[in-house]
Chain A
Amino acid sequence: MTNLSNNKFEVTIRRCGVPSDEELVRCPGVPNTKRLHQGPVAVIECVEEIPCNVCEVSCPRGAIRIGKKITNLPMLDSQSCVGCGLCIPKCPGLAIFVVDQSGKDIDKVSIPYEFLPLPKPGQIVTALDRNGQPVCDARVERVNNDPRNDRTAVVTLLVPKGLGMKVRFFWLKGEEQDVQRE
Chain B
Amino acid sequence: MGIARPEVLVIGAGPAGLAAAIEAAEHKASVMVVDENVRAGGQLIKQTHKFFGSELHHAGIRGINIATKLVERAVHLHVSIQLHTPVVAIFEGVVVMAKEEKVLETIRPARLIIATGAIENAICFPGWTLPGVMTAGAAQTFVNIHRVRVGDRVVVVGSGNVGLIIAYQLRQAGSEIVGIVEAKPQIGGWGVHASKIRRMGIPIWLSHTVKEVRGDDRVRTVVIHQIDSNFHPIPGTEKELIADTVCLAVGMRPQVHLVEMAGGSFVYEPVLGGIVPVHNEIMETTVSGVYVAGDVAGVEEASTAIVEGQLAGLAAAYSLGKVSRPAFEERRNAYLQALEELRSGPFGDERKEAKRRIWNHYDQLKQ
Contact = CB atoms under 8 A, between A and B. Distances in A.
**A and B form one complex:** yes
25 contacts: A5-B345, A15-B185, A17-B197, A46-B192, A47-B191, A48-B346, A50-B192, A51-B53, A51-B341, A51-B343, A54-B52, A54-B53, A56-B55, A92-B52, A115-B172, A128-B199, A128-B201, A130-B195, A130-B198, A131-B201, A132-B198, A132-B199, A177-B201, A179-B178, A180-B203
B179 interface: yes
B196 A94 contact: yes
Interface in A42-97: 45-54, 56-58, 69-71, 90-95
Contact of A51 (B49, B52, B193, B204): B52
A54 B60 contact: yes
A178 B171 CA distance: 12
A45 B53 CA distance: 17
A130 B303 CA distance: 29
A51 B345 contact: yes
The 4 A-B pairs with the shortest beta carbon distances in the complex, nearest first, are: A132-B201, A93-B192, A17-B194, A71-B345
B29 interface: no
A19 interface: yes
A55 to B, nearest CB: 9
Output the residue of B59, B204, B241 with the most chain A CB within 10 A: B59
B192 A48 contact: yes
A93 B190 contact: yes
Interface in B180-224: 185-187, 190-204, 206
B186 to A, nearest CB: 4
Nearest to A58: B60
A133 interface: yes
Of the candidates A47, A92, A129, the one having the most CB atoms from chain B within 10 angstroms of its own CB is A92
A115 B174 CA distance: 9
A56 B278 CA distance: 37
B54 interface: yes
A179 B177 contact: yes
A114 B169 CA distance: 10
A19 B59 CA distance: 24
B321 interface: no
Contacts of A69: 341, 344
A14 interface: yes
Interface in B203-261: 203-204, 206, 241-242
Choose among A13, A51, A58, A176 the residue with the greatest number of B CB atoms under 10 Å from its CB: A51
A93 B172 contact: no
A62 to B, nearest CB: 14
B136 interface: no
A93 B196 contact: yes
B189 to A, nearest CB: 9
B347 interface: yes
Interface residues of B, number: 47
A76 B298 CA distance: 35
A143 to B, nearest CB: 17
B49 to A, nearest CB: 7
A40 to B, nearest CB: 21
B344 A92 contact: no
Nearest to A132: B201
A1 interface: no
Contacts of A179: 176-179, 201-203
Contacts of B270: none
A38 B206 CA distance: 40
Contacts of A131: 198-199, 201
B342 interface: yes
Interface string B57-97: 00111100000000000000000000000000000000000
A94 to B, nearest CB: 5
Contacts of A51: 52-54, 303, 341-345, 347-348
A133 B192 CA distance: 18
B246 to A, nearest CB: 15
Nearest to B200: A132
Contact of A94 (B179, B185, B192): B192
A92 B50 contact: yes
Given A177-B177, A182-B241, A49 B345 contact: yes
Contacts of A70: 54, 341-342, 344
Contacts of A114: 172
Given A51-B343, A90-B50, 11 more contacts: A10-B346, A15-B185, A46-B192, A49-B345, A50-B52, A51-B341, A52-B54, A92-B192, A115-B172, A129-B199, A179-B177
Contacts of A52: 52-54, 59
B192 to A, nearest CB: 3
B365 to A, nearest CB: 30
